[in-house]
DNA sequence: CTGCAACTTCAAGTCAACTTGAAGTCAAGG
DNA sequence: CCTTGACTTCAAGTTGACTTGAAGTTGCAG
């Protein structure tokens, strides 16, 4: 099947669950690397699979590809990350997740306290105005504070 | 200041915290309405402010503009929503938030159970592979399962 | 009546993370 | 050797929610 230890883009796609176009994109963005055959086709080392698992995990945690690239670059060159490397990173992620959860809980609890009141005041309601930013003198942004959250609870086909 | 009870786009922008361009966009998308002066400038009723608060709140909860438009259309024509209307909607939101929170908690807990293990297996790790979808026969998507989450915890300037 | 900020429309640009398409090349089983 | 599926590049398209720019018009304080 695979000539000793090197994987074609199709094989990596199949094993990682990423589309080949995504793999090429990640390479263009500097998240993964490949060698080339004489004819110019990509050949990957098996370690790319772990790297891709890392990418998937990080992106599940909400990091942008840019942030992921930065974290990957901060990992020791080439070698498998140690327990300490991994802990440093997951601690970072853990904080992020905790923040996100807390933000959503504030929103939900505000919603509960609001149920039935119909208040939705631009200045006072915690749901339409979380964090009280609108009370400041700065002009408020048009964008929402909370993210475009997952619309599909399950992966698309 | 404001000629009795009608607001210009600039005034609404200032009071709602949305950019004028966003207000025009919302109007184009059918989320809000306006009358026009003889010269064609927009004049808003004060009720638009509540509507905009609703829009902000809903978008904080993670609804798309399309979904928000649908919910707005399901509200009784013109009249202020009753407690029952409001409860129906917030119950819907509450469920959404609960789901989102639960998803993040699963991720966080998986992270905890993973700390230090360095496993990140494509097939087995719950962080890189939440929900076990990759175990299915279908080709996995390239996209993340969880949303692009809030990167700025506070509104941009 | 004038000046100028605030408004108008419409098209195009932005961002992220990819996907799609076109047009052509490579690798390997038979 | 030949076929054919897998691969290559590069440009352009997609989605959502807006913003920006250009070019022109309106409304109101003075």
Residue A122 pLDDT > 80: no
The answer to whether residues B33 and B55 belong to one domain is yes
Between β-strands B35-36 and B6-8, what pairing exists: parallel, antiparallel or unpaired?
Answer: unpaired
Q: State the pTM of this model.
A: 0.76
Domain boundary among B91, B108, B131: B91
Helix, strand, or coil (residue A43): strand
Query: What is the mean pLDDT of the segment spanning A72-91?
Result: 76
Residue A156 lies in a domain: no
* Residues forming a β-bridge with A44: A7
Domain boundary among A91, A108, A143: A91
Place of tokens 């094989």: A11
Helix, strand, or coil (residue B84): helix
Distance CA A124, CA A113 (A): 13
Q: Tell me if A146 sits within 8 A of A107, measured CB to CB.
A: yes
Q: Which tokens belong to B89?
A: 């909607």
Q: Tell me if A59 sits within 8 A of A68, measured CB to CB.
A: yes
Q: Tell me if B20 sits within 8 A of B30, measured CB to CB.
A: no
In the structure, how far is the CA atom of residue A12 from the C1' atom of nucleotide D6, in angstroms?
Answer: 13
The burial class, CB within 10 Å (0-12 / 13-18 / 19+), for A153 is: exposed
Residue B41 pLDDT > 90: yes
Q: Do A120 and B16 touch (CB under 8 A)?
A: no
Q: How far is CA A79 from CA A29, A42, A51, A75, B127, in A?
A: 21, 22, 11, 8, 21
- For chain B, the domain total comes to 2
The answer to whether residues B77 and B103 belong to one domain is no
Distance CA B153, CA B150 (A): 6
Q: Tell me if A145 sits within 8 A of A131, measured CB to CB.
A: yes
The answer to whether residues B126 and B50 belong to one domain is no
B83 touches chain A (CB under 8 A): yes
pLDDT tens sequence across B72-124: 888 776 677 777 777 778 788 888 788 778 877 877 777 776 655 556 555 55
* Range of lowest pLDDT (A13-27, B16-30, B89-103): B89-103
CATH number at residue B80: 1.10.1660.10
Enumerate the nucleotides of strand D whose atoms come under 7 Å of any protein CB.
6-9, 16-20, 25-28
Domain boundary among A91, A106, A128: A91
Q: Do A54 and B94 touch (CB under 8 A)?
A: no
Containing structural domain, residue A135:
94-151
* Residues forming a β-bridge with A112: none
Q: Is the CB of A7 under 7 A from strand D?
A: no
The answer to whether residues A104 and A75 belong to one domain is no
């Amino acid at each position: 099947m695979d000539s000793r230890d090197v994987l074609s883009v199709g094989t990596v796609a199949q094993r990682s669950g990423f589309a080949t176009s995504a793999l090429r994109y990640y390479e263009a963005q500097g998240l993964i690397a490949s060698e080339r055959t004489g004819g110019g086709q990509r050949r990957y080392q098996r370690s790319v699979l772990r790297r891709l698992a890392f990418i998937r995990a990080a992106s599940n945690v909400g990091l942008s590809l840019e942030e992921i690239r930065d974290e990957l670059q901060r990992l020791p060159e080439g070698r498998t990350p140690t327990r300490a490397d991994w802990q440093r990173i997951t601690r970072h992620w853990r904080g992020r997740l905790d923040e996100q959860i807390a933000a959503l809980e504030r929103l939900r609890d505000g919603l509960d306290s609001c149920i039935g009141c119909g208040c939705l005041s631009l200045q006072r309601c915690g749901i339409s105005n979380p964090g009280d930013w609108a009370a400041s003198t700065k002009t408020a942004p048009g964008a929402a504070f909370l993210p475009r959250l997952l619309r599909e609870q399950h992966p698309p086909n």
